[in-house]
Structures are given as C-alpha cells and as structure tokens.
Structure 1
Amino acid sequence: MKNVVIGFLGTQLDMGKKRRWRPTVSLVEHADFPVERLEILYDMNFNRLAQQVKRSIEEVSPHTEVMLRNLDLKNPWDFQEVYGKLFDFARAYGFDEHRERYHVHLTTGSHVAQICWFLLTESRHVPARLLQTGPPREDDARPKLDIIDLDLSRYNALQQRFDKLAREYGDQLKGGIETRNDTYNALIDRIELVAGNSDEPILLLGETGTGKSELAERIYNLKLDRRRVKGRLVHVNCATLNGGDAVAMLFGQQRGYTGQAGSERRGLLREADGGILFLDEVDELGLSEQSIILHAIETGRFYPLGSDHEVSSRFQIIAGANRDLRTLASQGRFRPDLLSRLNMWRFELPPLRERREDIEANLLHELARAEKELGNQVGFNADARNRYLKFATSPATQWPGNFRDFRGSVRRLCILSPRGRITKAMVETEIENLQRDWNSASADSDLQLVEALLGEKAGEIDPFDMVQLALVIRTCRQSSSLSQAGRALYAKSRDKRRVQNDADRLRKYLSKFGLDWSMTASAETT
C-alpha cells in the first residue's frame, strides 16, 4: 500500500536555517518509511521556496512524486479561514484508503493549522495518521520521524488516565458517595459530559429534597475546575421573587430610583457575571417575572431600576424545579419560550424511595458530615444500625421529603446520642416520630384535596375512604384520560376479572361520592 504524505510548506523551517534541517525534505530520508507521493500545500507568495523544496526532494528520493498544491491564506492564524479551506480541501480530495495510506505532516504550518489538521483527522474528514519530524540528534545522523495514531486504545496508560479523571469528576458530582443505583450513576455520567463540554442551560427536575441544590453547586465546582466559568455561583430562590422588590433584587437599583442614600443595589444578575445563576424553584416564578428574566438570559443585557443605560452580565444557567415545566406550560402557567430556553439539557433526579440501595452509603456520608460539623465522632450500635437500615430501605418507607427527611433524621440521632453512640431505643423513637409526622402530613393533605372537591361533605367520609379517594383523585389529575387513570388504579386486579373495563370501574367509584371525571381531572392541583 502506498504511503501518501500531505503537509504545509514550512515557510521558515524549510529554508534550512535551523541546523540546515528542512522538515519537508526530511520526510523522504527514511528507508523504513518510503513516501510514494508527497503533496505540499503552499501560498503563492512562497512559490520560489516551494519549487526549491520540490527539487531537493526529487534529488534525495527520485521515486517520490512531489505535488505542489496552491492554498492561499489571507491570515494563517485565523482559525475559521484555515479550518474552512482545509475542510474544503478534504472534501474535494477523493481519498482511496484501499490503495493508499495517508499521513498528515504536523511539523510545518502555523499552530492554528496544526490544530485544524488534528480536528480533521480525529473526525475522519481526513482519514490519515499524523506525522511529526525533528532534526537529527547529535548521536544520530538521521532526522527524527514519529507516527501518531489517534486510536487511544494503543495508549493504555493515557486512556486509563482519562478514565481516572472522568471517575474523579463523577465522584465530585456525587459528593464522594459510592452510589450503586444504576439510574442515578448513568444520570451523573451524562451530567459530567454536559457540564464539562457545554455552556447551555441545565434543568434539574425532581421532588423536593432530591438534592437539586447540592448537585447545582457540584456542577458549578466542576465547571470551575474545568475552567468553563470564572465567576461566582449565585443562588436565586425564585419562590421569593414576587412583589415590587423582585425586580430590584434581580436587576439592581440606582439611588435615583428612590432618592434615598444607601438604596443602591447591584442585583443578583450582575453578581453572577462570568459565573452561574442558579434559578432554584423556577416553577414558582410568576408569568411577569418569567418574561423579564427571559430577556436577560437571552441577551445578557438589562436595565437596573432607575437607570437609563443598559448593563451587561454574561452567565450560565442552572434551573431547578419540583414540577414538570411541560405540564405547567400546557396549563398556561409557564412561558413556553422560557421553557425552550431552559430545556436544552434536562435531568430528572430520582427520589430516595427509588434509590434504596444507596441509603447505606448516604448514611455513612451523613455520619461523616455530622462528625465534621458537630466536632465529635458518632456511630451506631450494631443492633441500632440494623434496625435503622431495615426501616430506611423498606418499601413501606416512602421518604416523602427524600434526602431532606433522611438527613434530618440522621442529624437528630447524632445530636441526641449519649457518648457518641446511637442505641436501638433511640432509633425506635426516631422511627415513631417520623411515621407520626408523615401520617399527619398525609392526612392533612388528603383532607384538603377532598375538601376542595366536596366541601363540607368531606367531613362525612371515613378516614379509610379518605385515603383511598385522595389517591384516586391524584391519579386522575396525573392521567390524560379516564381509561388511563383506570388502568393505573386497577393494574393488579385486572387479570382476575372477566370484564376488564377499568374506565367503567373508576366511573362507578367516583359516582359513589358524587364525582365524575371532569370534576377530578380539571381541578386545581393541591
């Protein structure tokens, strides 16, 4: 198979002023690397030098075919121009990999040209290996020639280094916790790729307490380590951005707006310049606030209150939400254009009840955190640890507050532990308190939900029926049709019935309480 080499004319090096070594000519001075064709890209301003180099190559290696290809560059340091012309050259070339083996000479040409060659070969627009040449060493009369293969599988040590770095970034996003949940680990791996390679908005969805705020801070630290940001992480709780003070808090305020000394405010958007603006609970923003913040996100420019001049602030966006923004947009409660802007990279964090295999690792993490913050070491007695883990990982334990409930539970045990030991009796008391609080909150929520539909009649419903009816109403609101809600509610018993009409079963159940599909599905979510 023929060896073909493509490279730029070295406008300085090929004159031979450095050790009388000319890199392009040296390509044909290696008996173990015969070059059948050498194609030299040159600018017409250096036509004379190109002709001299061609003659020198023909003298050293008569069997090598030398082709001079004119490629004029207005600015060899302009990346867009160099890459564009080399890309066009590659598309028009007509590579024949069955008959020829292609190489690109990296030693000549500007640094921009070398980068462009690398990108084109890595993407296979130029199906070639890379060549580097160098002047001969003092103990060797031959010039150096090295072939660089972009197949990293041949460089195990380098590949392992990249893998180790990727694992470190993943561990950083997980807070150093050895998680075992496949869904969560795959999510973190994807976030690591996005955070390290994209500056587009990241949207974090999930129930309250699933760790969106902590993950946003870890993403910021990762971007800081990867030098993708230089500024601060500015945390904005969107639930507080209501009323007349919201605009001043976001965009700042000039003294002239109120006329009072000390009323100047820089604004959170300017504080985030060069960094990340974290819009926590973005689903709580009102429509008017959504409108004004969208313009600032898209343009990076805005007017502080009381100012006649725009100011600029360039920042990256991370947004967090407890509810599905697509559902809110379909209900007219969230602007579709803002959703489109935020939804470039969308990640949904699983709740704790779907990550039970990670509870033990998170327990160790919370104990270590408590030791650091409280200043004393705390541990479980063996029976207490087994009892707590059995409760925490049980399918019956739903953890409605997710990691917020879990963290609070462990912290209480650590603070109340005598002499740094958590006993089984303490664990039993903590479990009773958690269950009582959850049951109370669930009962209050169920009552409010049913009262919103039935009014005073809700007081006539037995507690057992109250729980069941609340579940049915929530399922109806999460479903697009009566049939879909019926399938979700009667999935287990469907196969045991002769007539599998779930919609009719659900319709009859609702009618017992004077309800129908339209009343439950269209009601405002509680």
Structure 2
Amino acid sequence: MGKRSVAIGFLGTTLDRNGKGAARWQRWRPTISLCQQAHTPIDRLELIHGTSARDLGLAERIRDDIQSISPHTEVRLQPMVLRNPWDFEEVYSALHDFASAYPFDTEHEDYLVHITTGTHVAQICWFLLTEARYLPARLIQTSPARGKEDTADPAGTSTLIDLDLSRYDHIASRFQREQADSLNFLKAGIATRNAAFNRSIEQIERVALRSRAPMLLVGPTGAGKSFLARRIYELKRGRHQLEGRFVEVNCATLRGDGAMSALFGHSKGAFTGAQNARDGLLRAADGGMLFLDEIGELGADEQAMLLKAIEEKRFFPLGSDREVESDFQLIAGTHRDLRSRVAEGLFREDLYARINLWTFELPGLAGRREDIEPNIDFELQRHAREQNRQVRFNLEAKRRYLAFANSPQARWAGNFRELSASITRMATLADSGRIDEALVLEEIGRLQRAWGLEQGANPLDALLGDKALDQFDRLQLHAVLNVCRNARTLSEAGRQLFDVSRLEKDKPNDADRLRKYLARFGLDWNQLKD
C-alpha cells in the first residue's frame, strides 16, 4: 500500500467564497480544485482558517463541499490566530510554530503545501519554511483552466513544485553565468590569470552585492584601486543597490581647513575666504559611494569626524552648529600599512577597526606578471575606443616587448598606470596602426632610463659583487629582487612570493621564509630595499 497524500493550506477567504448556492459549482475555487486533481488525490487536508465566525462558516462549507466530491478526503479544520496576515514576522512565526508542532510521519505520508491561497506574505513564508525543510513537503499550486475561470471547468489544473534545486540545473547555470558576468565586469573584461587576484575579485563580488559595510583596498600606487572602486560602484548601481553619485577624493591632496571643508563642507564665514556655504564631498555622496583614496594621509581631526560620519551618518560642517545627514557607502584606499600607522599614533585605531571589516590587497604589476599580456590587449582596445584608431603589435615586436615586460629588469614602479602609459605612447607613435620592433626598442630604452637602469645592466651585480651563481639561482634572484623592490614590507613580499604554498600552512610565516632564502646568498631585506 502506498503512502497517504496530505495537503496543508490556507482557506481562500475570497476565491473559496466564489459563487453562492448551486452556482458555486460552476466557479473555480482553489481549495475545492485541490481535491479534484485526478493525478494527485488528497487523502487528508489540513485547512488553516481564521477564528472569526465568518471564516469558520466558510471553512465548514468548504469541508462539506469536499466531502461531496471527494468522499475519501478527510478535512481537518485548523484555526489560526493572525491579527495581521500581511505582517511578515507574525505570519512566519505562526507557520513556523504550526510546522514545529505538527506530527509529520514521512514514513507513511507524503506532504504537499498549497501555496495558491493566503496572502502573498503567507505564500512567501510557505516557500521559506519548505525550502529550509521545516516542512518535509513539496509545493502545489492550483489555477483555473486557461480562459475558463468562470465556467465549464471548475476543477482547473495543478502544478507540483519540488524545491530540490539540484534538479533545476538551468537555474543553477543561470546564477553561475550572472556571477561570472559580475566578476568579468569588476575585472573590466580583462582575462586575469593571477590566481590570488582572481580569488580576491570573487570575494569582492560577493561582499559588494551583499554588504554596505566599508571596504578597504590596499595596494601600491597605480595598482588599480580607484578603477576597481568605480567598478564596484557601477556593479551595485546596476543592481539598484545605490542611487547616488560616485564621489572620489585623494586624501593626500587635502590639508588644513581645506581638508575639513572639502570633506564635510562649511558654513558661510567659517574661515577667512569662506564667502559662501559649501556642502562638501560627504554630502555629495549621499545615497551613493564615497571613495577616499590614500585615507592614511588624513589628519587627526578629519579622521575623528569621518568616524562619526561613518557610524552615525551625521556630522557637523566646518563652522556650523547644525548637523547634516549623508548615507553613503565608503570604500577606502591606501598604499600604506595602516597597522603600523596606528602603532605610530598617526591613524586612529577605532577608525581603522571600522574600515577594516573587508580588506582586500591588490598586488602591483610586478606581482601579477602573468596579467601583463591581457592588460596590453585591454589597453590597445581602450586606445581604439578613445581615439577611434585600431593599433596592433607586429608579432616579433610584441614578443620582444613581452620578454622585457616580464623580465626581472622591468621594475614597473608605477604598476598598471605605468604599463598603460607605455602602451599609449607606442600606440600614439605607431604608423599605419602597427607597433614595430623599432618602437618597442625605443620604449624599452625610455622605461630603462626612467627606472635608472642602463640597457643590459644587471640590478643584482651591485649586491652580489664577484659571487658566482648558477644561472638558475641568478634568474630566481632577479624575480625575488623585483618583488621586494615593489613591496612595502618583508611580510608583503613573502605573501606574494609564497602565495600558493602559504595556503597549505596553518600558520604561514612568509617573512621568515623569505629572510632565510635571502640569507642563503648573503643578502638581507635592507640591502634589497636600499
């Protein structure tokens, strides 16, 4: 003998009341329809209804009508007190209590939750409770036959909805495609090959769409902090999470009263020259996003006011005794080690704690050399859009430029900004839209001079003196030297160099590993930085 089929659902106070007398049998009524489906016979119906006399009378009439068309169906009336059936918390709590107390017998019974009746709030609560398995059930939805709601086919149709999402691969694939589109958007369509950076972008995408908490982007100048902040803003705006502007300010350019005024605004006459009131950048970012680049350069007074603005969404403009409001999302950027700045008393510990919930490190170009080639392609595409002129490398010219760009000799002190400038120069000078070897050699020479290197010079010679090394060690040291030159601390350089193996250690000590490696060749951190 098969399992008994048990349905649970609300009384439809409007649709189940459809029609009077004998005419009601010609009208579609969802609860009656539920018990008329030949492919899903209902053995027992738990009919939830209100406690008013009117609701009880309708529930009894529906029970009697079901008995006449489906004698094998047992109807149990379940009164439920709901003062406000549109209050999400009240409805969810009531249905959660019902599910917790109900004596489910899954060994002998299959359960269906009827989601056609009840308020939209009740339908959502049914879905959530069933998906979370508080109800070991499938959902069933009844509907009138297409075009026949009033006559001819009062039984209508029904649809079973199984919330086992593994059966809906196309839904999962759709969400995966949407996430991939978001990641590609954050990377501006650049096919990033660096595993560590890809992991950071994946987490940034999740945080950006799920949280309004401040984010901190840490990386050297030119690593793309400003660019990424704007992409995060555009992603959130595209999902209708932000309506206001993207406001960007480089805190390193702010000094004295000008800093307070630029950020928080001022009242008329607040200081000499303040002939008119000014709103300030924080108010301009209301409803949008504020990107404070080089936040470590802010003065103590600005830091204190910024903390209040972040926590309370309120602050006093300079020279004013009236608070103003601004609800903005903050992204901060810095190339400094803010922990060290806190220890030195140069940055507020409470402000650092407030902006440090989500911190993401953006490696410089020297730490993402595998991304040089896709970024070259990206820069050429951008040049074509901006100048309406397509430029390409000759095959040998590109090979030569990539060999130099990926060599330990290429310092890339300006990171992606410097690479962009290099490609722009060659694209601008290219005749007939082709970058040839002559242009590449000229550009390589220009970069070497900018970095203080003579063509062909070996940056390790001064450190190693006459020490003989295998070619393998020399090439490896070149790469290590380049990373160290562009890193702010020994630990940061270690994290970049051991970005894969460190994940396998419970307590990675990147600085100690790098220190021991350098010691093998008689080198130390201070030598490399000098």
TM-score range, shorter chain: 0.7 to 0.9
Residue identity in the other structure for 1:26:
S
> 2-side partners of 1:251 and 1:361: how far apart?
40
Contact 2:267 2:278 in 1 (8 A): yes
> 1-side partners of 2:274 and 2:511: how far apart?
60
> 1-side partners of 2:464 and 2:514: how far apart?
18
Aligned to 1:136: 145
Displacement of 1:235 in angstroms is: 0.8
Aligned to 1:399: 412
Displacement of 1:219 in angstroms is: 0.8
Deviations 1:79-129 (A, max 9, x none): 222223333333343544444333221111111222222222233333332
Displacement of 1:192 in angstroms is: 2.0
> 2-side partners of 1:127 and 1:395: how far apart?
62
Give the counterpart of 2:238 among 225, 231, 236. 225
Task: Describe the SS at the equivalent of 1:69.
Answer: strand
Aligned to 1:20: 27
> 1-side partners of 2:462 and 2:415: how far apart?
26
1:57-96 equivalence runs, <5 A: 57-93=66-102, 95-96=104-105
Task: Describe the SS at the equivalent of 2:209.
Answer: helix
Contact 1:73 1:82 in 2 (8 A): yes
Contact 1:281 1:319 in 2 (8 A): yes
1:119-518 equivalence runs, <5 A: 119-137=128-146, 138=148, 142-258=155-271, 262-439=275-452, 464=463, 475=490, 487-491=513-517
Aligned to 1:41: 48
> 2-side partners of 1:491 and 1:406: how far apart?
30
Task: Describe the SS at the equivalent of 1:433.
Answer: helix
Give the counterpart of 1:100 among 104, 109, 114. 109
Task: Describe the SS at the equivalent of 1:257.
Answer: coil
Displacement of 1:324 in angstroms is: 3.8
* Change over 3 Å in CA distance of 1:438–1:65 after alignment to 2: farther
Contact 1:54 1:66 in 2 (8 A): yes
Displacement of 1:262 in angstroms is: 4.6
* Change over 3 Å in CA distance of 1:286–1:102 after alignment to 2: farther
Aligned to 1:452: none
> 1-side partners of 2:134 and 2:414: how far apart?
52
In the alignment, is residue 3 of structure 1 matched against residue 29 of structure 2?
A: no
> Which segment drifts farther, 187-196 or 230-239?
187-196
> 1-side partners of 2:62 and 2:200: how far apart?
55
Displacement of 1:359 in angstroms is: 1.9
> 2-side partners of 1:477 and 1:220: how far apart?
28
* Change over 3 Å in CA distance of 1:486–1:278 after alignment to 2: closer
* Change over 3 Å in CA distance of 1:293–1:95 after alignment to 2: farther
Task: Describe the SS at the equivalent of 1:490.
Answer: helix
* Change over 3 Å in CA distance of 1:372–1:436 after alignment to 2: same
For normalisation by structure 1, the TM-score amounts to 0.81
* Change over 3 Å in CA distance of 1:474–1:344 after alignment to 2: closer
Contact 1:241 1:289 in 2 (8 A): no
Deviations 1:107-152 (A, max 9, x none): 1111122222222223333333221111234485632110112333
Task: Describe the SS at the equivalent of 2:196.
Answer: helix
> 1-side partners of 2:488 and 2:217: how far apart?
27
Residue identity in the other structure for 1:87:
H
Aligned to 2:39: 32
* Change over 3 Å in CA distance of 1:261–1:485 after alignment to 2: closer
- Could you tell me the percent identity over the aligned residues? 49
Task: Describe the SS at the equivalent of 2:77.
Answer: strand
> Which segment drifts farther, 321-330 or 365-374?
321-330
> 2-side partners of 1:91 and 1:396: how far apart?
68
> 1-side partners of 2:447 and 2:226: how far apart?
24
Displacement of 1:259 in angstroms is: 8.7
Contact 1:359 1:392 in 2 (8 A): yes
Displacement of 1:224 in angstroms is: 0.8
Residue identity in the other structure for 2:9:
G
> 2-side partners of 1:487 and 1:165: how far apart?
40
> 1-side partners of 2:213 and 2:93: how far apart?
25
> 2-side partners of 1:236 and 1:437: how far apart?
28
Displacement of 1:296 in angstroms is: 0.6
Task: Describe the SS at the equivalent of 1:360.
Answer: helix
* Change over 3 Å in CA distance of 1:276–1:415 after alignment to 2: same
Aligned to 2:472: none
The answer for unaligned runs of 5 or more in structure 1 is 447-461, 497-504, 511-519
* Change over 3 Å in CA distance of 1:23–1:187 after alignment to 2: same
Residue identity in the other structure for 1:20:
R
> 2-side partners of 1:354 and 1:258: how far apart?
46
Displacement of 1:299 in angstroms is: 0.9
> 1-side partners of 2:160 and 2:229: how far apart?
43
> 2-side partners of 1:394 and 1:267: how far apart?
46
Residue identity in the other structure for 1:374:
Q
Deviations 1:400-454 (A, max 9, x none): 322112111111111222333212122122222223322479xxxx9xxxxxxxx
> 2-side partners of 1:221 and 1:71: how far apart?
47
Contact 2:29 2:154 in 1 (8 A): no
Displacement of 1:309 in angstroms is: 2.2
For normalisation by structure 2, the TM-score amounts to 0.81
Displacement of 1:272 in angstroms is: 0.8
Deviations 1:148-180 (A, max 9, x none): 123334334444333332222222111122223
* Change over 3 Å in CA distance of 1:422–1:341 after alignment to 2: same
> 2-side partners of 1:345 and 1:473: how far apart?
20
Residue identity in the other structure for 1:394:
S
> 2-side partners of 1:111 and 1:59: how far apart?
30
> Which segment drifts farther, 362-371 or 9-18?
9-18
Kindly report the root-mean-square deviation, in angstroms, between the aligned alpha carbons of the 2 structures. Answer: 3.4
* Change over 3 Å in CA distance of 1:37–1:435 after alignment to 2: farther
Deviations 1:202-259 (A, max 9, x none): 2222222221111111111111110001111111222233311212111212225359
Contact 1:207 1:322 in 2 (8 A): yes
> 2-side partners of 1:342 and 1:154: how far apart?
41
Deviations 1:446-482 (A, max 9, x none): 9xxxxxxxxxxxxxxx9648999x9899649999xxx
> 1-side partners of 2:322 and 2:489: how far apart?
49
Task: Describe the SS at the equivalent of 2:37.
Answer: coil
> 2-side partners of 1:27 and 1:476: how far apart?
66
The answer for unaligned runs of 5 or more in structure 2 is 466-477, 495-508
Displacement of 1:485 in angstroms is: 5.8
* Change over 3 Å in CA distance of 1:78–1:363 after alignment to 2: same
Count residues in correspondence: 479
Task: Describe the SS at the equivalent of 2:410.
Answer: coil
